[in-house]
Amino acid sequence: MTAALLEYERLSVSLGGNPVLRDVSFSLQRGEILCVVGESGSGKSTLLLAALRLLGPAGLVTGGTVRFCGEDVNRMPKARLRDLRGCGLGMIHQDCLASFSPLRRIGDQIHEALAAHGSVSRAESDRRAADMLARLNFPDPQRVLSSYPFELSGGMGQRVGIALCLLMGPQAVLADEPTSALDVVSQRLVVDELLRARRDFDLGMVVVTHHMGVARAMADSVLVLKDGRVVEHGAASDVLSCPRDAYTRALLDAAPRLERGV
């Protein structure tokens, strides 16, 4: 087996002195989608933030390590960490539109993000952004680039967030509840775009979700968190069809289905 893109080894994290993650281990391979599922408060989002060293002043890794391509994230110098965020590990938020300034056009903000990681002209960033939006099935990319965030629907905003993430050229993507704020039709579109991005760019993805239907539609492997601990981890076909743990069974019994499309 090739070396893991992302590897958690017995990671424990506390926030404000309270344990949030306890002894979590897993690895992510290139081209793999790992879905992390569990109730709100189970530690799913903290799991992603630990990989980017974005736990904040109250967050502390109390044990274990996170490695990206073999490098210990907690030992990375600031310059290397800056490259990691975006160019190594991309992030897709629960509400991508909220991460854009409402006072500036989408194209301006995409150019700023790309220029922060390398020299790029405005014409080049617009061309690359329009090409990516077209690849994600936006019928009028130029209109999107000239729009303000409030002029886009929630589903469009999520897909613009995906486009920006992919424009940075990451090797792996961390997606934090990317469909939870959307209607069912928009959920399907976002799931399809993420699956297409995995296929087209051979990305590894960690997708955090409380929606077991999203996990069914996307996952190659599934990790189930409860109160910061791993209660089940394995191939999606095993975990979602023949769960060993009662907690996993309860999550599945409560879930609507969103079947795999791409």
Spatial separation of the C-alpha atoms in residues 129 and 166, rounded to whole Å = 10
Amino acid making up residue 138: F
- Helices and strands in the chain: count of H runs, count of E runs: 10, 10
Q: What pLDDT, in 10s, does the model give residues 176-193?
A: 999 887 888 888 888 999
pLDDT band at 259 (very low <50, low <70, confident <90, very high): low
pLDDT given for residue 8 in this prediction: 97
Task: Indicate if the pLDDT at residue 166 is higher than 80.
Answer: yes
What are the sequence ranges of the domains in the chain?
6-95+172-253
- pLDDT tens across 39-81, in order? 888 999 999 999 999 999 999 999 999 999 999 999 999 889 9
**Alpha carbon distance 99, 190 (integer Å):** 17
Strands, E assignment, 131-181: 172-176
> At 261, is the pLDDT very low, low, confident or very high (cuts 50, 70, 90)?
low
* 8-state DSSP, 102: T
Retrieve residue 151's tokens: 């002029």
Q: 6-95+172-253: which CATH architecture?
A: 3-Layer(aba) Sandwich (3.40)
pLDDT for the residue 11: 97
Please tell me the distance from the alpha carbon of residue 139 to that of residue 130, in angstroms, as a whole number.
10
Q: What is the pLDDT of residue 144?
A: 96
Burial of 216 by CB count in 10 Å (0-12 exposed, 13-18 middle, 19+ buried)?
buried
Name the residue with higher pLDDT: 260 or 76: 76
CA distances from 251 to 37, 40, 148, 225, 247 (A): 9, 12, 38, 11, 6
